[in-house]
Structure 1
Amino acid sequence: MSKFGVLVMGPAGAGKSTFCTALIQHLQNNKRPCYYVNLDPAAEEFAFEPDIDIKDLISLEDVMEEMSLGPNGGLIYCFEFLLENLDFLTDPLEEVTDEYLIIFDMPGQIELYTHVPILPNLVKHLMRGSLNINMCAAYLLESTFIIDRPKFFAGTLSAMSAMLMLEMPHVNILSKMDLVKGRVAKRDLKRFLNPDADLVDEDPSWRPGKDQEELEEGRTDGDPASTKNVMAGTSFYRLNKAVAQLIDDFSMVSFLKLDAQDEDSVGAVLSYIDDAIQYHEAQEPKEPRDDIDTNIIESAMGD
């Protein structure tokens, strides 16, 4: 019997824990059971108490203190330790039935998803091992990135890298949509939801006169290694155009909008997650309860 889960991930500050909280609340409001797994060894406060908390096994603070490691090295050590003690996850998850949605709340260091093989190994254990969890990734990117187009395409590239690395169904999400309300026209927003490489050419910070002339003549504005020119000018434009074109050519990444304060928005994202993991297809038809049948009959007789 399959189980069902979602891996909530993305860069730091993208709103992963907020989304997990909103998702759990939405599931509870709809009488649907869920199972909350915290895999962030640095997390301290929770709106809902996790059913499994990696800090009961190992914490980032202890690792940094005892191993004299920084945050990133300490986090990688925590996950390597988890992989050596997978019974910590496997044993309690064995008891979870197919009615539950298992929510994995992940840390914000994107190297775990983009180029370190630790998380792919964990995903294989969860999806292909004895647990047999039908799982998808929900990759969150903060919607304010669309105000800074180079940052948006860098974030989109990280999402695509995670998709290729993890080899699992993906749902990509622009979170905190309430922060950009009224700042981006609806027509332009659609082009960010399905990233359009031409957005780089329309970047307000791109100087179409001077920069375009330099681009056509093959000139650059001074030393490309200088602080001023690393994040501006023709060389920077070429880099961002190449990144945007790569994303456009693969046509793998598209985004859903999320406002975690809006239950309809959370429900819409959940419907995509359910489709990705084929949740509803595996559910058995439920018999109507006797008390509901009686009420319907009595109501019909009254009419």
Structure 2
Amino acid sequence: MGYAQLVIGPAGSGKSTYCSSLYQHCETTRRTIHVVNLDPAAENFDYPVAMDIRELISLDDVMEELGLGPNGGLMYCMEHLEENLDDWLEEELENYLDDDYLVFDCPGQIELFTHVPVLRNFVEHLKRKNFNVCAVYLLDSQFMTDVTKYISGCMASLSAMIQLELPHVNILSKMDLVANKKDVEEYLNPEARVLLSALNQHMAPQFAKLNKALAELVDDYSMVSFIPLDLRKESSIQYVLSYIDNCIQYGEDADVKIKDFDPEDD
């Protein structure tokens, strides 16, 4: 049984920084993880790359040879990966043991994990290779400055959850850049009545019914909640990692335990 994190989220949400910090944390705690680059447009890494999609296809080559733009070129690269998944994974994964832990650093184009099947098919291939997979969705905490941006983030996250059908962990990244932590605390586990009141204050009256439906969707089904991540604090990284480990049943024999995490703790 293998284990994997699929690190997704909008461009600029801190996915590569998260992967780098996670690798450094695991290196410090003498735990082994392997970070895989799935972004054909990536250039520099702050972590050792265990597997690299650019060895199969790169965005620069596609743009030059086919005359495509960045977005069209990326879609071509990911479709090419999809067509060659079996051979690529068979070749790359043969170097890893059954209990290895892989972290996939994905591109930031939102359509890849909201309404096209590329990453979903990639996940299905991993499952057939006997991997337990968790989607880790990063959202920049600096965008959580008002309720409308929060709802937009929730909808994107929900779309990814529906598309991928995986255990799903939502993370508010870049908490170290938030001046006042209380500004985002109310969005970690929101209540429908609070969301509805805030939405009605920010939006025109004709959106009242839509606001009510969105607030109830977030609250009633408990589908969206966020974990704050402050990369300056080892306790924050460890908490997030333990939470994800629990989702994919990593270290079950070790009886993984999760305690409440206070973002104000060191």
Per-residue deviation, 1:236: 5.3
- Does structure 1 residue 81 correspond to structure 2 residue 52? no
Deviations, residues 187-233 of structure 1 (Å, cap 9, x unaligned): x71x31123333444439936xxxxxxxxxxxxxxxxxxxxxxxx53
| 3-state SS of paired residue (1:206) | helix
Matches within 5 A, 1:49-88: 49-86=48-85, 87-88=87-88
Q: In the alignment, is the contact (CA less than 8 A) between 1:52 and 1:89 conserved in 2?
A: no
Separation in structure 2 between the aligned mates of residue 10 and residue 260 of structure 1, nearest angstrom: 17
Q: 1:62 to 1:241 in 2, by over 3 A?
A: farther
Q: Which of 142, 145, 154 matches 1:144?
A: 142
Separation in structure 1 between the aligned mates of residue 130 and residue 88 of structure 2, nearest angstrom: 16
| 3-state SS of paired residue (2:49) | coil
Separation in structure 1 between the aligned mates of residue 227 and residue 158 of structure 2, nearest angstrom: 15
Q: Which of 259, 269, 288 matches 2:240?
A: 269
Question: What is the aligned-residue RMSD (CA, Å)?
Answer: 2.3
Separation in structure 1 between the aligned mates of residue 92 and residue 168 of structure 2, nearest angstrom: 25
| 3-state SS of paired residue (2:227) | strand
- Does structure 1 residue 132 correspond to structure 2 residue 130? yes
Matches within 5 A, 1:9-48: 9-48=8-47
**Residue matched to 2:262:** none
Per-residue deviation, 1:110: 1.3
Q: 1:168 to 1:183 in 2, by over 3 A?
A: closer
Separation in structure 2 between the aligned mates of residue 79 and residue 261 of structure 1, nearest angstrom: 33
Q: In the alignment, is the contact (CA less than 8 A) between 2:200 and 2:211 conserved in 1?
A: no
Matches within 5 A, 1:201-280: 201-203=196-198, 206=201, 233-235=204-206, 239-280=210-251
* Seq. identity, %: 52
Deviates more, 1:3-12 or 1:61-70: 61-70
Unpaired runs of 5+ residues, structure 1, are 208-231, 284-303
Deviations, residues 18-55 of structure 1 (Å, cap 9, x unaligned): 10001000110011111110001111110113111111
Q: 1:110 to 1:237 in 2, by over 3 A?
A: farther
State TM-score, norm by structure 2.
0.87
**Residue matched to 2:154:** 156
Deviations, residues 42-83 of structure 1 (Å, cap 9, x unaligned): 111101131111111111222223223232222221111011
Q: In the alignment, is the contact (CA less than 8 A) between 1:141 and 1:155 conserved in 2?
A: yes
Per-residue deviation, 1:263: 1.3
| 3-state SS of paired residue (1:193) | coil
Q: In the alignment, is the contact (CA less than 8 A) between 1:27 and 1:34 conserved in 2?
A: yes
Q: 1:42 to 1:236 in 2, by over 3 A?
A: farther
Q: In the alignment, is the contact (CA less than 8 A) between 2:133 and 2:166 conserved in 1?
A: yes
Q: In the alignment, is the contact (CA less than 8 A) between 1:149 and 1:199 conserved in 2?
A: no
Per-residue deviation, 1:248: 2.2
Instruction: Count residues with an aligned counterpart.
Output: 254
**Residue matched to 2:261:** none
Separation in structure 2 between the aligned mates of residue 71 and residue 196 of structure 1, nearest angstrom: 40
**Residue matched to 1:108:** 108
Q: In the alignment, is the contact (CA less than 8 A) between 1:197 and 1:248 conserved in 2?
A: yes
Q: In the alignment, is the contact (CA less than 8 A) between 2:190 and 2:219 conserved in 1?
A: yes
Matching residue's letter, 2:201: W
Matching residue's letter, 1:121: N
**Residue matched to 2:172:** 174
Deviates more, 1:25-34 or 1:175-184: 175-184
Separation in structure 2 between the aligned mates of residue 240 and residue 17 of structure 1, nearest angstrom: 34
**Residue matched to 2:7:** 8
Unpaired runs of 5+ residues, structure 2, are 255-266
Separation in structure 1 between the aligned mates of residue 163 and residue 60 of structure 2, nearest angstrom: 28
State TM-score, norm by structure 1.
0.77
**Residue matched to 1:91:** 91
Q: 1:235 to 1:111 in 2, by over 3 A?
A: farther
Separation in structure 2 between the aligned mates of residue 204 and residue 3 of structure 1, nearest angstrom: 43
Q: In the alignment, is the contact (CA less than 8 A) between 2:41 and 2:59 conserved in 1?
A: yes
Deviates more, 1:274-283 or 1:108-117: 274-283
Per-residue deviation, 1:161: 1.3
